[in-house]
């Protein structure tokens, strides 16, 4: 796929984006969920080898195709690895799946109710290398824990600064200011976040677009203005700790938003499964998330 074809698929494709980007800190938890306990590896290289085997098994599954999975977000080591002897981004493209790369290096300590991204001094080199491998875009995550207007403004400002750096490499940024679903002020966070994003979208250079990855809002439709904004290529949602069934129900309430799930996609997969069992479990998860992304619930009239 050429860049223009990948852009068109992201803009209009039916389906969702698989998040296969668990990084260093979250890898042991992801492996445990897959049925591999922490004692199964003796060093970091072996740990990353095991998580790559899991991801390669997912990508090579007959259930994982561009028909329902339109994109996949990769961890840097996954991008640099291979699937069935082919570089991972090329293996995805061969299946009609658009590759993205997670670029953030983790989070700063909380201040003003938010966690900004840590510095990324080698980002330009990573972007150049990723683009050369056929990667279409990036994903970068911050976290919002409470409705602090100053903190949320700082998160969005930093996200768009990084987004402009990504756009400078002719790549598509997925801007991800995640609202913690356990926040006691979640609904207020959603509203402040939407308004800050709108300000920053309006300030983007003409002809430029970004993608957004957001927590599912407390009030369905809160992000409609973002979905409809001409400078937004697509809005996707993270599951954020919801179970797959919960996340898909909430997703279906929000028109124009598709999934970009990680745990909710992988939760039923186990290393001990036969290939037939694994492929059936993955197909079931893909079908449920696809349905939540493409078949939207009718809005309930308010009194």
Token pair for residue 86? 């082919």
Q: How far is CA 143 from CA 5, 249, 250, in A?
A: 31, 23, 20
- Count how many Cα atoms sit within 13 Å of the Cα of residue 258 in the half-sphere of its side chain: 23
Q: Does 213 participate in catalysis according to the annotation?
A: yes
Q: Which of 57, 34, 35, 10 is nearest to 211 (CA)?
A: 10
Q: Which of 213, 250, 253, 288 is catalytic?
A: 213
Annotated active-site residue 176? The verdict is yes
Given 176, 178, 250, 288, the catalytic residue: 176
User: Catalytic residue numbers?
Assistant: 176, 213
């Amino acid at each position: 796929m050429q860049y223009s074809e990948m852009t068109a698929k992201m803009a209009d494709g039916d389906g969702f984006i698989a998040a296969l980007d668990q990084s260093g800190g979250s890898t042991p938890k992801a492996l445990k969920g897959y049925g591999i306990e922490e004692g199964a590896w003796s060093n970091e290289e072996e740990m990353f080898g095991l998580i790559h085997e899991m991801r390669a098994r997912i990508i090579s599954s007959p259930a994982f195709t561009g028909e329902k999975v339109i994109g996949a977000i990769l961890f840097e080591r996954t991008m640099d690895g291979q699937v069935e002897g082919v570089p991972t981004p090329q293996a995805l493209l061969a299946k009609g799946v658009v590759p993205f790369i997670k670029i953030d290096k983790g989070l700063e300590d909380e201040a003003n109710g938010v966690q900004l991204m840590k510095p990324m001094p080698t980002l330009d080199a990573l972007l150049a290398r990723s683009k050369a491998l056929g990667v279409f875009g990036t994903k970068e995550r911050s976290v919002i824990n409470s409705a602090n207007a100053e903190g949320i403004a700082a998160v969005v400002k930093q996200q768009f600064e990084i987004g402009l750096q990504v756009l400078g490499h002719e790549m598509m940024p997925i801007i991800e200011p995640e609202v913690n679903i356990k926040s006691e002020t979640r609904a207020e966070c959603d509203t402040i976040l939407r308004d800050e994003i709108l300000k920053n979208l309006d300030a983007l250079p003409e002809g430029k677009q970004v993608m957004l990855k957001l927590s599912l809002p407390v009030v369905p439709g809160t992000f409609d203005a973002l979905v409809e904004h001409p400078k937004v290529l697509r809005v996707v949602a993270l599951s954020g700790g919801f179970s797959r069934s919960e996340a898909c129900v909430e997703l279906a309430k929000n028109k124009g938003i598709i999934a970009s799930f990680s745990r909710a996609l992988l939760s039923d997969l186990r290393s001990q499964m036969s290939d037939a069992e694994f492929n059936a479990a993955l197909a079931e998860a893909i079908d449920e998330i696809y349905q939540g992304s493409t078949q939207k619930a009718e809005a309930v009239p308010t009194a």
